Amino acid sequence: MRLLLSGDGSLGKRALGDGHRQEPGGWNRLHLTTGELVADVKRLRAAGVKFRTTEVVSGSGGAQVIIEDPSGNAVELFQPLG
């Protein structure tokens, strides 16, 4: 298991594209690493998956989107740089 902690400047602390600010207790999420984020986003959108983020967001470590599982839990798809 790997535990990731977000610092003040990380993507995990930023507001979402719609301006919604993150709140304590509501932003824990599964973090899944992928090598094909753009292709995964396209496939998941076509399948009707609900996205919390409106687009791929890039930061100093890579790119991410946040989707919701059928129960409403957040799942981050992350593609590291390199």
pTM, to two decimals:
0.69
pLDDT over threshold 60, residue 52: yes
List, for residues 12-37, the tens digit of each pLDDT value.
Answer: 667 777 887 766 556 678 889 999 99
**What domains are there in the chain, each with its CATH number?**
30-80 (3.10.180.10)
Query: Cβ neighbours of residue 11 under 8 Å, at least 6 residues apart?
Result: 57, 59, 61, 64
